[in-house]
Amino acid sequence: MLALLRYFLSLGETPTLSELDKRKLRIVNGNALLSIVLMLVYQMYFLTATGMKSAIPIALSGVFLFLVPLLLNSYKQHQAGKIMFMVSGYSFLTLMAYMYGKTSNMEYTFLIANILALFLFDRKNLIFLFFLLGLGLFLFFQFYYYAHYRSPLEHLVTQEVYFLNVITLFFVCYFVVKQFKYENETYQKVVLQQNDELTQQKEEIETQRNLIEAEKQKSETLLHNILPEEVAQELKEKGVATPKHYELITVLFTDFKGFTNIAEKISPTEVIENLNTCFFAFDNICDKYGLEKIKTIGDSYMCAGGLPTANTTNPVDVVKAGLEMQDFMAKWIAEKQASGEEVWELRLGIHSGEAVAGVVGKNKFAYDIWGDTVNLASRMESSGEVGKVNISETTYNLVKHVFQCTHRGAIQAKNKGEIEMYFVESVLHA
């Protein structure tokens, strides 16, 4: 018996239905079966109590009405089954109210049945749902409260019929309350689950955003290590960087004397380690004085002051940087010689003047400077002496109020004639 009941209750279930939809399906099937049973009980009562055969057509019509939603559900037509169940319920209750009159207290069952509809249909079907409720209420009031006639079977209604109506009302109320509780708990679980999923998604998005921001920061740092910040920003915004002319910049070149001979005697790893130690120190000194590292070529190092942001202090800044580079090399050489290692020594030359700076090409962007100032700075380096800061007369005239310098003669520069040179000895004052 229980197995048969479970079969009818689960009629039309499919694995694709959610637990909530399965429950609604069981409510439709269960209430349809309950309605059929109660209807037959009503009619059997009237047949045995009154012998009225007129109850038979009512019973048969009711049985047919409530068999239809069961049949539709068995064919997986769940939405049609719910609609037919409500139509059958409205029709049968209206018929009962019409036949047995107000003394049957059918109005309570009718009103509760309307509430049950709220739990059978999804919220997206509210328009159709309100249509059904309106239709049901209209029929109810039309045939029940506003019927100005005596119903044909009203005089046959007894306490037993009233009791059956109360029992029916109890079952309907029970289903309504159970379904309300179930849906409320289900929606709370769904909301909590959705909140958890949203929180998790938010955390994942935040994590991804942080990763993207970190990668972006790495890219920005790398780009700014390759190009000056102003130039990098212009490239990102316009796709090109406009070359700029500077009236006064100061260029510094360095070169290691004896590098080639020593590099042949030690391993490539040691060569790179020693170069990296020196150039890393030079980078820090450039950062200290606001200089722009231009490039390294082999064992040569080139930097400049007064760009990309023009200033008038660049001659002094670059000379101070040159003195610190030589001081660093003196300490580094002393440490290496103390451990018996061969060392290279530093020549350093500086010249001031005008130049053009910018980025050329489309691949492997490099910030560079062009002009006679660059060429003369290179001549200052090649004409210098190890451990000394060799500057041109042009630079000397711009820094002589800050540094003590020694005049050392002139060199012949191509297309420029002779250029006077000076060694920077020390700072006159801070």
pLDDT tens column, 252-290 = 999 998 888 888 888 888 888 888 999 999 999 999 999
On whether residue 213 sits in a domain, the answer given is no
On whether residue 231 sits in a domain, the answer given is no
Q: What's the number of domains the chain is made of?
A: 2
pLDDT tens column, 186-232 = 667 777 787 888 888 888 888 888 888 877 777 666 666 666 767 66
Same domain, 181 and 276: no
Same domain, 172 and 256: no
What is 223-286 written as a DSSP string?
HHHHS-HHHHHHHHHHSS---EEEEEEEEEEEEEETHHHHHHHS-HHHHHHHHHHHHHHHHHHH
Cβ atoms 306, 246 nearer than 8 A: yes
User: CATH code at 359?
Assistant: 3.30.70.1230
Same domain, 316 and 421: yes
Same domain, 141 and 250: no
Same domain, 264 and 178: no
Same domain, 31 and 147: yes
Higher pLDDT, 155 or 186: 186
On whether residue 230 sits in a domain, the answer given is no
Residue (of 331, 349, 333) closest to 341 by Cα position: 333
Q: Among 145, 165, 198, which residue terminates a domain?
A: 198
pLDDT of the residue at 148? 47
Residue (of 326, 329, 383) closest to 351 by Cα position: 383
Same domain, 62 and 136: yes
Query: Does the model's pTM come out above 0.85?
Result: no
Burial of 191 (0-12, 13-18, 19+ CB in 10 A): exposed
pLDDT of the residue at 63? 80
Same domain, 179 and 327: no
Q: Tokens 């689960």 — which residue?
A: 10
Domain enclosing residue 153, as ranges: 2-198
On whether residue 423 sits in a domain, the answer given is yes
Q: How confident is the model at residue 117 (pLDDT cuts 50, 70, 90)?
A: low
Q: Does the structure show a pLDDT above 90 at 343?
A: no
pLDDT of the residue at 251? 95
What b/e sequence results for 80-96 when a residue is b if at least 16 CB atoms lie within 10 Å of its CB, and e otherwise? Answer: ebbbbbbbbbbbbbbbb
Same domain, 66 and 135: yes
On whether residue 229 sits in a domain, the answer given is no
Q: How confident is the model at residue 149 (pLDDT cuts 50, 70, 90)?
A: very low
On whether residue 377 sits in a domain, the answer given is yes
